[in-house]
């Protein structure tokens, strides 16, 4: 399935192409036609599935196609309510990116900061407002925001909004919306109170559920090596040679790190190449071609560069650096074990990365087995304390005591834009 087959218009297709998206994710594939059709949607999906684009793209498209009916000053026609400032910013960035050729303007409002820049942006006129509930209500009460012209409502991460005690605010906001509108409701979990809230907001919604991504973690054989930072290159060479690993994708956090590993491997006689944002499109294409044909054994990639890569028979993924965003680990290891039934994911963890490892194990609800006997063991094979076996296979189980999702707060939903590539 391609984005074109989803009947998307050219200004959006171009923006997606600029982003390097080659095909829709399952939630996009399922939701976009429903939303373009004008139906309400109840989506059971979490961050990392591509859900922002799943709602932003059809809203932008419909608003763009209706633009001639909406002449005169801009009025807020789409409202996205989301629980945290981080999510609000990410969503606003997504609307800007996917809508960059549509002329549709968005702004974001959230609490904890001076409201003046926000009210100035509102006064200039916008089409899409992304807001956290408390600040939105404040601004509505002060007369800076009118929701009378809203045609599209998105309630994002509804379960977190309830956890964070926003239910009354949400009710007040909903009460001010026109009854005739298209409503979208997303939640990672569907507890009875969430379903009850969704029934108040939605008409007769179509339902879309995408499986949590961590299921990929179950298909891949994962191992862990505790190793000091300085010994990581030697361990990598050792594994590539001794274990005869072929078609191996090695992830590093930085472009600089990727280039350094290429140099080290080349010195050791291993055919390697790097793919990252500093390379020209041609150089990237050539590196990818060589890797796919098998003439390069190892490819080193940053997370951003790896997103556009589609390699079916990738045997091994190496996490040379442990990602600081747990969902990134799941994305990375999901690159292997696709066509072939099984894949191997190897992670190198130094002392400073143990906290990240702990977060990952919590997310995937598994302890990754550590290989204790290896020539570069840093002698400190202690795993972080075992994670609790969690009964609920959802992100909800990773929430912190404040009711927020620790992962999502620290990580924003959009590793592409939040992880600085240095
Ligand atoms: P979300 O679940 O909306 O937080 O999106 C997770 C990440 O996937 C974000 O970094 C998006 O930029 C990225 N993304 C969304 N859709 C696609 C796609 N079709 N292809 C590649 N990356 C995508």
- Mutate-to-test residue for ligand 1 from 4, 6, 8, 53, highest number of ligand atoms within 8 A of CB: 53
| pLDDT digit string, tens, across residues 124-155 | 999 999 999 999 999 999 999 999 999 999 99
Calpha distance 236→120 (Å, rounded): 53
Class of domain 216-400: alpha beta
Pocket of ligand 1 contains residue 411 by CB under 6 Å: no
Q: Is the pLDDT of residue 400 over 50?
A: no
| pLDDT digit string, tens, across residues 1-55 | 899 999 999 999 999 999 999 899 999 999 999 999 999 999 988 777 899 999 9
Q: Which residue has the higher pLDDT, 67 or 336?
A: 67
Pocket of ligand 1 contains residue 21 by CB under 6 Å: yes
**C-alpha 93 – ligand 1 centre gap (Å):** 12
Q: Is the pLDDT of residue 214 over 60?
A: no
| pLDDT digit string, tens, across residues 361-397 | 988 878 899 998 889 987 666 654 444 333 333 322 2
- Give the pair of three-digit tokens for residue 202: 């939605």
- Candidate from 4-18, 100-114, 219-233, 403-417 with smallest mean pLDDT: 403-417
- Fold adopted by 3-209: Rossmann fold (3.40.50)
The structural domains of the chain, with segments of one domain joined by +, span: 3-209, 216-400
- Give the pair of three-digit tokens for residue 416: 């592409």
Q: Is the pLDDT of residue 213 over 60?
A: no
Residue with CA at minimum distance from ligand 1 atom 20: 21
Pocket of ligand 1 contains residue 307 by CB under 6 Å: yes
**C-alpha 148 – ligand 1 centre gap (Å):** 31
**C-alpha 94 – ligand 1 centre gap (Å):** 9
Calpha distance 387→384 (Å, rounded): 8
**C-alpha 310 – ligand 1 centre gap (Å):** 15
Residue with CA at minimum distance from ligand 1 atom 16: 50
Pocket of ligand 1 contains residue 308 by CB under 6 Å: no
Pocket of ligand 1 contains residue 47 by CB under 6 Å: yes
CA angle 326, 3, 69 (to 5 degrees): 110
Mean pLDDT, residues 192-218: 80
- Please name which of 243, 234, 280 lies closest in space to residue 261, comparing C-alpha atoms: 234
| pLDDT digit string, tens, across residues 285-323 | 788 888 888 888 899 988 777 765 666 667 899 999 999
Pocket of ligand 1 contains residue 53 by CB under 6 Å: yes
Q: Which residue has the higher pLDDT, 105 or 190?
A: 105
- Which pLDDT does position 331 carry in this prediction? 78
Average pLDDT value over all residues in the chain: 84
- Give the pair of three-digit tokens for residue 89: 């910013």
- Candidate from 41-55, 79-93, 118-132, 211-225 with smallest mean pLDDT: 211-225
CA angle 79, 82, 88 (to 5 degrees): 85
Q: How many other CB atoms are there within 10 angstroms of residue 297's CB atom?
A: 18
46 CA closest ligand 1 atom index: 2
Q: Are 387 and 358 in contact (CB under 8 A)?
A: yes
- Please name which of 150, 154, 173, 180 lies closest in space to residue 63, comparing C-alpha atoms: 150
Pocket of ligand 1 contains residue 50 by CB under 6 Å: yes
- Give the pair of three-digit tokens for residue 287: 């590196």
- Which pLDDT does position 120 carry in this prediction? 97
Calpha distance 231→228 (Å, rounded): 5
Where is mean pLDDT largest: 121-125, 157-161, 218-222, 251-255? Answer: 121-125
Residue 410 binned pLDDT confidence (cut-offs 50, 70, 90): very low
Helices (H), 188-280: 192-201, 215-219, 232-242, 255-267
Calpha distance 322→253 (Å, rounded): 8
Mean pLDDT, residues 318-344: 79
Percentage of the chain beyond pLDDT 90 is 56
- Candidate from 54-68, 202-216, 271-285, 329-343 with smallest mean pLDDT: 329-343
Mean pLDDT, residues 257-276: 92
- Candidate from 129-138, 143-152, 252-261, 403-412 with smallest mean pLDDT: 403-412
**C-alpha 365 – ligand 1 centre gap (Å):** 23
- Mutate-to-test residue for ligand 1 from 22, 52, 323, highest number of ligand atoms within 8 A of CB: 52
């Amino acid at each position: 399935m391609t984005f074109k087959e989803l009947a998307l218009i050219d200004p959006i297709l171009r923006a997606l192409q600029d982003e390097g998206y080659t095909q829709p994710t399952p939630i996009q594939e399922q939701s976009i036609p429903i939303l373009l059709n004008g139906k309400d949607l109840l989506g059971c999906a979490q961050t990392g599935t591509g859900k922002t684009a799943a709602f932003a793209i059809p809203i932008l498209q419909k608003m763009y196609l209706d633009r001639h009916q909406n002449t005169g000053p801009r009025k807020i026609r789409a409202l996205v309510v989301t629980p945290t400032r981080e999510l609000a910013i990410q969503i606003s960035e997504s609307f800007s990116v996917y809508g960059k050729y549509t002329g549709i303007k968005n702004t974001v409002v959230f609490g904890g900061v001076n409201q003046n820049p926000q009210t100035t942006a509102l006064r200039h006129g916008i089409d899409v407002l992304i807001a956290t509930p408390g600040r939105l209500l404040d601004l509505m009460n002060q007369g800076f925001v009118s929701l009378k012209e809203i045609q599209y409502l998105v309630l994002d991460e509804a379960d977190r909004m309830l956890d964070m005690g926003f239910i009354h605010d949400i009710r007040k906001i909903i009460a001010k919306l026109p009854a005739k509108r298209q409503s979208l409701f997303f939640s990672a979990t569907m507890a009875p109170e969430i379903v009850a809230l969704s029934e108040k907001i939605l008409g007769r919604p179509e339902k879309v559920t995408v499986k949590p991504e961590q299921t990929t973690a179950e298909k891949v054989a994962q191992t862990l090596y505790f190793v000091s930072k300085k010994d990581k290159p030697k361990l990598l060479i050792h594994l590539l040679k001794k274990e005869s690993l072929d078609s191996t994708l090695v992830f590093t956090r930085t472009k600089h790190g990727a280039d350094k590993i290429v140099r080290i491997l080349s010195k050791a006689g291993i055919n390697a190449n790097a793919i990252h944002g500093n390379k020209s499109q041609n150089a990237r294409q050539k590196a990818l071609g060589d890797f796919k044909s098998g003439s390069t054994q190892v490819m080193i990639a940053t997370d951003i560069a790896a997103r556009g890569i589609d390699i079916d028979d990738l045997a091994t993924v190496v996490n040379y650096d442990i990602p600081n965003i747990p969902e990134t680990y799941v994305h990375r290891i999901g690159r292997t074990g696709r066509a072939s039934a099984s894949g191997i994911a190897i992670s190198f963890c130094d002392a400073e990365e143990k906290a990240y490892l702990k977060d990952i194990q919590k997310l995937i609800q598994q302890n990754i087995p550590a290989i204790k006997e290896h020539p570069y063991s840093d002698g400190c094979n202690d795993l972080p304390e075992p994670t609790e076996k969690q009964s609920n296979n959802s992100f909800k189980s990773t929430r912190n005591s404040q009711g927020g999702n620790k992962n999502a707060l620290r990580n924003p939903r959009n590793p592409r834009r939040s992880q600085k590539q240095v």
